[in-house]
Chains A and B, each alone.
Chain A
Amino acid sequence: MSKTNSLPEPNDQWNLWEVFIQESDNEPHRHAGSIRGADAENALQNARDVFARRGKTKSIWIVQSDHIVATTTGDSASFFDPTSDKVYRHPHFYKHTLDDELWKK
């Protein structure tokens, strides 16, 4: 696992934030992109001005980019591997229904 962004220290530029947008009540927040902002309030306003320009925005989350921890492509095969042989976690693993002969026996 590693930090998503290993950027050079910003100097003249403001802090870097990741922006998550929720478009309607029943949807989760989805990553929209990143934004610069000196502080959280400033970053939220900038995120609104760039990513919420055409309605359809219910809420915005922002988080400083260097707080994000992520899997890497190289690790992901072994990291997600334990779930690949657990077919019994899926409904199609279960065969017998009312129409089967099994329950009559």
Chain B
Amino acid sequence: MSENIAAMEAEFNRRIAAGETIEPNDWMPEKYRSQLKRLISQHAHSEIIGMLPEGNWITRAPSLRRKLALLAKVQDEAGHGHYLYSSAETLGISREEMFDQLHSGKAKYSSIFNYPTLSWADMGMIGWLVDGAAIINQTTMAKCSYGPYSRALLRICKEENFHKKQGMEIIATLIASGDTGKAMVQESFTRFWWPTLMMFGPHDTNSPNSPDMMKWKIKLKGNDELRQRFIDMTVEQAQKWGLSIPDQQLAFNEATRSWEIGEIDWNEFTAVINGNGPCNQERMETRRSAHDNGKWVRDAAHAYEEKHRSKITTAA
């Protein structure tokens, strides 16, 4: 029996090493399955909770053009959540179970969505920084070994560029509008810079699941490498816009040709991840009430389908 499992595991490792994708009905180690369930459902929750900070500004968008764009972006995020829940379901966890984990506070989601959106500039900042960081993560993850997750990510990546570009347009417009607009952007940038860097997760040396996940190609690059890629890209963009980066220790390393930052406040990161960020409670309450208030819609659709089915059976 255990010999059998060892053989299956060897074959599994061979397939991973050969770059094959693993599909729902294939044999996989229990830990591979459970890691993926955790990772994909967390990602799905992040897309869904991620709609809330932006949803906050839809009714207050400064023009119809901005309102249409923001609405379309938030709808895209709902779709992303859906793709991801579907791919997690192929691992044998139901959507209800995942919702329960989210609503009971058991499941985690990206820490960034527990920060408030206080000004219109934050809508630009989320598109530019948060979606920008997500793009770096997701394009890398799209090459992961689990087929349904990889395909969902490919689809998501195609939609993300619009999110980032509409954000950058908001920022450029505010900066061009004069001192007040630029000050609004700077204030927002100062609030979002560090929380965005935390999105990439703890240092690899403090990331207990990393070695297994790398071996199984669930994860393809370390947190620090991806964070650095984001920093190098974003520092240059911020400088072009004339924004100042809230980090006294930021310095360009000529040897590595990259920007070195000061230390991230990991206490803040831990607090936010564990439910004590500025908006954790509000996000969870909003999410739970949205789910409860939508119950009659789910029930009505069920009842309609049942009534229809019974009509067909009686007619036959």
A interface, CB within 8 angstroms of B: 2, 4-8, 10-16, 32-36, 38-39, 42, 49-50, 53, 70, 72-74
B contact patch SS: helix
Question: A-facing mask of B21-37, CB < 8 A → 1, else 0?
Answer: 00111110000000000
Q: Report B-chain residues with C-beta under 8 Å of the C-beta of A39.
A: 301, 304-305, 308
Q: Complex: how many Å from CA A12 to CA B97?
A: 11
Q: When A39-B304, A53-B76 are in contact, do A72 and B152 touch as well, CB less than 8 Å?
A: no
Q: Complex: how many Å from CA A75 to CA B96?
A: 32
* B75 pairs with A53, CB closer than 8 A: yes
Q: Does B65 contact A (CB under 8 A)?
A: no
B interface, CB within 8 angstroms of A: 23-27, 72, 75-76, 79, 82-83, 86, 89-90, 92, 94-97, 151-152, 155, 295, 298, 301-302, 304-305, 308
* B304 pairs with A14, CB closer than 8 A: no
Q: Report A-chain residues with C-beta under 8 Å of the C-beta of B75.
A: 53
Q: Complex: how many Å from CA A8 to CA B97?
A: 10
* A74 pairs with B83, CB closer than 8 A: no
Which of these, A7, A8, A38, contacts B302 with CB under 8 Å? A38
Q: Complex: how many Å from CA A72 to CA B97?
A: 27
Residue contacts A-B, CB under 8 angstroms, 5 given: A5-B89, A11-B96, A12-B298, A36-B95, A49-B79
* B92 pairs with A6, CB closer than 8 A: yes
Q: Complex: how many Å from CA A11 to CA B94?
A: 9
Q: Closest CB of chain A to B36's CB: distance in Å?
A: 15
Q: Report A-chain residues with C-beta under 8 Å of the C-beta of B92.
A: 6-8
Q: Report A-chain residues with C-beta under 8 Å of the C-beta of B26.
A: 72-74
